[in-house]
Amino acid sequence: MRPLIGLFLIAVSMALAGSVPIKTLVFSTATSTSYVEMIPQRPMNLTAFTLCMRVATELSGQREIILFAYRTGSYDELNVWRELDGRLSFYMAGDPVLFKVPELAALQTHLCVTWDSTSGLAALFLDGKRSLSKIYRKGHTVRAGGRVILGQDPDSFLGSFDEQQSFVGEICDVNMWDVVLADSVIQGMFAGKREPRGNVFDWESTELRINGDVEVAIREL
């Protein structure tokens, strides 16, 4: 049976059983060549956003790990990292904002990052629980015209990857909105609700371009 046909039949059987089938990306080994490009559904000139994903990794405490990278020709417009010391951070064309939170591990975590330019308020959500707020890049705008990838940190527009920063583990359900969602909405998504769908990235419909050794599977959410 061809792989795509097999994935389709699995998704249909899950839907008939009442569960939610979802694509998941498995990065099995550290490389400087494997990544997934996500094609946004609207230009990414953003003055606010909510970015969510489900992520698991066993690289606890060993090195820094890139979780999400959006780069234009000259800048890292929005990068989300697991730092060497276990903190989570995101960078927007400059120094990061960092959060001391429970470390990512082999058990899947629902992670959301929120930011608003007008107030500068930045926060994280882990499994529906909200961090404290920090003030970050007040008045800033994320610029359009770049490329979004999972699995690697591009030091140029789409290249200059470093194996020691690559993601190893599983990522799925990556969604992004051009607004800050209410706490209750994020908590509902952690619990499995599928609305509202992302208007910048909607995991169920966003085009994914697979490069290198990345496995795409269907599993039940």
Annotated domain spans of the chain: 21-220
Per-residue confidence at 18, pLDDT binned at 50, 70, 90? low
Contact between residue 152 and residue 86 where contact means Cβ atoms under 8 Å apart = no
* pLDDT tens digit sequence for 162-184: 999 999 999 999 999 999 999 99
* pLDDT tens digit sequence for 49-78: 999 999 999 997 778 999 999 999 888 999
Alpha carbon distance 107, 84 (integer Å):
19
Contact between residue 152 and residue 25 where contact means Cβ atoms under 8 Å apart = no
Per-residue confidence at 15, pLDDT binned at 50, 70, 90? very low
pLDDT score, position 14: 44
Residue 6 has pLDDT above 60, yes or no: no
Contact between residue 58 and residue 72 where contact means Cβ atoms under 8 Å apart = no
Higher pLDDT residue, 63 or 17? 63
Residues in CB range of 169: below 8 A, 6 or more apart = 26, 27, 55, 56, 57, 58, 59
**CA torsion, ordered 73, 76, 78, 82, to nearest 10 deg:** 140
Q: What is the CATH number of domain 21-220?
A: 2.60.120.200
Three-state secondary structure call for residue 103: coil
Structure tokens belonging to residue 18: 């009442």
> pTM for the complete prediction?
0.90
Amino acid of residue 94: G
Per-residue confidence at 1, pLDDT binned at 50, 70, 90? very low
Amino acid of residue 135: I
Three-state secondary structure call for residue 179: coil
